[in-house]
Amino acid sequence: MNPDKVQERKEIVLRGIGASPGIAIGTAVILKKHGVVVEEKVAEPSQEMERLQKSIDRSAYELQKIYRTAVDKLGSEKAGIFEAQLLMISDPIFFSGVKKRIDGEKKNVEFIVSDEFSKQADQLRKSDNELFRQRAYEIEDVKNRILRNLTEAKLKSKFDGKSIVVTSDLTPADAVLLSRNEVLGYTSDFGGARSHASILSRSLGIPAVVGLKEITKHIEDGMKVVLDGYHGVVVINPSEETARKYEEKKKWCDQLDSELITEAGQPALTTDGRRVFVEANLELLEELPLLKSHGADGIGLFRTEPLIIDADSIPDEETQFQTFKKAVVEAAPDSVVFRTFDIGGDKLFIGDHDEPNPFLGWRGIRMMLDRPDMLKEQFRAILRASAFGKSKIMYPMVASIEEVVKANAILEESKASLDSEGIAFDRDIEVGVMIEIPSAALMSREIASHVKFLSIGTNDLTQYLLAVDRTNDLVANVFDEFHPSVIRTVKHIIDSGHDAGVKVAMCGEMAGNPLATVMLLGLGLDEFSGVVSTLPVLKKIIRATNYKSARKFARQLLKLDSSDDVKKALVEYLKTRFERIYHTTISEEYVE
Ligand code: PEP
Ligand code: MG
């Protein structure tokens, strides 16, 4: 491509999802993956069987290679997804179905393989659950690998120079394989921040922006690209001024990141001596090694439902126990708050019921109380883990005191059953409740008298207070944690918890938003629990803040009657006191 021509082109700014933080400036390399066109043909079964076997052998060999690289770079826990792909590729039941069809229908293997895999993937894509939809990508990845090997098409996996990879959808295998090149960043049309590929990008330390919808349409090989993984922005053909701005920003960010990580081990103590706790929200065991390096004071929310998603079924007590034990051992001497399964809503469903209004349906603790055996089993797993490190139990989606009382009674039954078997557990294990439904927020004083702590779930609390579906793009602009009603409710919950003599934490996304930190501190929050990468920033802000001033500031914010005014005041505060943090971490939706 003629470089002058590239230079003449207009700057294009695209916005997607910041999947892995960091800034990268480099040259686009397009990774084309879907070149295999599958046609339906009549074919001789014995030949097709032979071709299928060859392709499977080759695909398994490639995946073994990727698996070994992943183990080296990421450790065996994270490399597990490639083990899962290897299992898919050697699943005897699936392939005996494929072979039967080849024999019976006398069609080409490409057509049958593609059809069978696509059926599975389509089924998962229809799910309301993001993690299931992500699994569909992995099935597609395995399908494409087998098809490529059938047609002997090669996937480009070696690049020259410093590249930013642009692709329709980044798979976990791409993320690992391409990291062996000098890849500076990843961008893709599809994908979410919670996909395995995004998680691996974060672990590999490669900035990524996903969900850009049409980046592959706008870009050509060799174009200059800027990628801002903090804010989910990609600039194609940046002007000289834009490129300079991002180069400068990259220098700041890298420096700030390393400074904040070095200080992250210090306690979250305000300048006038108020100690709060900054903890991690965790969904995957892979994130455990980041706890200490990012200064986490333990795990404030261990979401347990991903265990069901990973296993495709409800994991038994022993499996849950082994997982929980790993977490408590790694977090020691700090504690881990295990939240009982929060099934339903936008998460997974069990059984084959169909709910017209899942967010108002069979969710969280109400569902678990209808399945006491499942709850009992989970309690036993958590209690057994509590013998190995400090554990706490938390109930999600509580709407009334009766639910807390019933769950506590089942917990006592689990304790008694362990006692009768002579199995050790922490007798003083603390129980807490998530406050994320308006009725529970109003009753938080009474609820607090039945438990040892409260934890505010602002994701659902905002959804229910403002009557806005947290997953619906059309109303994303209405979903607003800074709405005065949310802030006043948060204040009410904190005060109610304190009146009852219990600590109040927050584990909704708001707790990890640096824009909210001073306000939450001033409202009296005791514990912040957010995604692990944000913890060093939160600690920095808290350590540089005077608690008395934060309280005064929070009182002023509570008087404001519009979210815009609240955000304006908070942006101004951060900009004047923490300019570097403001420029690097604050999402542009607040800045503009
Ligand atoms: C919340 O609702 O704020 C929360 C932390 O729970 P989840 O996002 O898992 O529903
Ligand atoms: Mg919730």
pLDDT in tens, 252-296: 888 888 899 999 999 999 999 999 999 998 876 777 888 999 999
Per-residue confidence band for 154, with pLDDT thresholds at 50, 70 and 90? low
Distance from Cα 513 to the centre of ligand 1, integer Å: 14
pLDDT tens across 199-213, in order?
778 767 789 998 888
Distance from Cα 437 to the centre of ligand 2, integer Å: 9
Of 231, 294, 483, 507, the catalytic one is 507
Q: Give residue 152's pLDDT.
A: 65
3-state SS, residue 36:
coil
Q: How far does the chain reach from its first CA to its final CA, in angstroms?
A: 35
Residue 290 sits at the vertex; the CA angle it makes with 287 and 291, to the nearest 5 degrees, is 100
Distance of alpha carbon 144 from its chain centroid, rounded? Answer: 26
- Nearest ligand 1 atom, CA 459: 3
Global pTM reads 0.72
User: 562 or 74: which carries more pLDDT confidence?
Assistant: 562
Orientation of helix 92-105 relative to helix 109-125, angle to 10°: 130
Closest protein CA for atom 5 of ligand 1: 508
User: 233 or 35: which carries more pLDDT confidence?
Assistant: 233
Q: Give residue 310's pLDDT.
A: 59
pLDDT tens across 7-27, in order?
457 899 998 888 888 899 999
- Residue 192 has φ and ψ, to the nearest 5°, of -130, 170
- Nearest ligand 1 atom, CA 396: 6
Q: Are 557 and 487 in contact (CB under 8 A)?
A: yes
Amino acid at 374: M
Please report, for the chain, the start and end positions of each structural domain, with discontinuous segments joined by +. 3-33+156-258, 45-151, 264-590
Out of 279, 342, 347, 437, mutate this one to test ligand 1's pocket (max ligand atoms within 8 Å of CB): namely 342
Q: Are 376 and 410 in contact (CB under 8 A)?
A: yes
CA proximity to 520, closest of 499, 562, 489: 489
Q: What percent of the chain has pLDDT over 90?
A: 51
Domain 264-590 sits in which CATH superfamily? Answer: Phosphoenolpyruvate-binding domains (3.20.20.60)
Per-residue confidence band for 6, with pLDDT thresholds at 50, 70 and 90? very low
- Nearest ligand 1 atom, CA 303: 9
Distance from Cα 458 to the centre of ligand 2, integer Å: 7
Out of 283, 303, 341, mutate this one to test ligand 1's pocket (max ligand atoms within 8 Å of CB): namely 303
Q: Which of 39-43, 73-77, 343-347, 379-383 ranks highest by mean pLDDT?
A: 379-383
Q: Which of 20-34, 95-109, 331-345, 577-591 ranks highest by mean pLDDT?
A: 331-345
**Residue 196 catalytic?**
yes
Distance from Cα 457 to the centre of ligand 2, integer Å: 5
Please state the rounded mean pLDDT for residues 417-430: 98
Amino acid at 96: S
The answer to whether residue 556 scores a pLDDT higher than 60 is: yes
Per-residue confidence band for 533, with pLDDT thresholds at 50, 70 and 90? confident
The CATH code that applies to domain 3-33+156-258 is 3.50.30.10
Distance CA 374, CA 367 (A): 10
**Residue 253 catalytic?**
no
Closest protein CA for atom 6 of ligand 1: 457
Ligand 1, CB within 6 Å, residue ranges: 303, 342, 436, 457-460, 507-508
Q: Regarding the domain delimited by 45-151, which CATH topology (the fold level of the hierarchy) does it fall under?
A: Enzyme I; Chain A, domain 2 (1.10.274)
Distance from Cα 510 to the centre of ligand 2, integer Å: 12
CA 337 → CA 178, 312, 395, 398, 584, distances in Å?
36, 23, 10, 16, 30
pLDDT tens across 100-139, in order?
899 899 988 988 988 888 888 888 877 766 667 777 877 8
Q: Give residue 545's pLDDT.
A: 98
